[in-house]
A = this chain, B = another copy of it.
Amino acid sequence: MINVIITGTGGMIPLPDRFLASCVIEYNGRKILIDCGEGTQVSLHKGKISISKIDVILLTHCHADHVTGLPGLLLTIGNSGRTEPLDIIGPRGSMNIINSLLVVCGYLPFEVRMSELHDTKPVEFEQIGLNITSIPLKHHMNCVGYSLELKLKPHFNPEKARQLNIPVNFWKTLHGGESVKVMDKTITPDMVLGEERTPIKISYVTDTRPVDWINKIVRNSDLFICEGMYGDDEQKEKTSEKMHMIFSEAAEIARDSNVKELWLTHFSPAMPNPGEYIKFAKVIFPNTHIGIDLMHKEFKPAE
Contact = CB atoms under 8 A, between A and B. Distances in A.
Residue among A37, A100, A101, A104 having the largest count of chain B Cβ atoms under 10 Å: A104
Contacts of A63: 104
Interface string A4-31: 0000000011111000000000000000
A121 interface: no
A103 interface: yes
Nearest to A74: B64
Interface stretch (A41-49, A172-180, A193-201): A41-49
A64 B75 contact: yes
A38 B100 CA distance: 16
A286 interface: no
Q: How many copies altogether?
A: 2
Contacts of A75: 12, 64
Contact of A42 (B16, B46, B76): B16
A96 B37 CA distance: 22
Contact of A101 (B16, B42, B100): B100
A291 interface: no
Interface residues on A, range: 20 to 34
A1 to B, nearest CB: 29
Nearest to A69: B38
Contacts of A103: 96-97, 100-101
Interface in A31-81: 37-39, 41-42, 45-46, 62-65, 67-69, 71-72, 75-76, 79
A42 B39 contact: yes
Closest 4 CB pairs of A and B: A100-B103, A64-B104, A38-B72, A16-B46
Interface of A: 12-16, 37-39, 41-42, 45-46, 62-65, 67-69, 71-72, 75-76, 79, 96-97, 100-101, 103-105
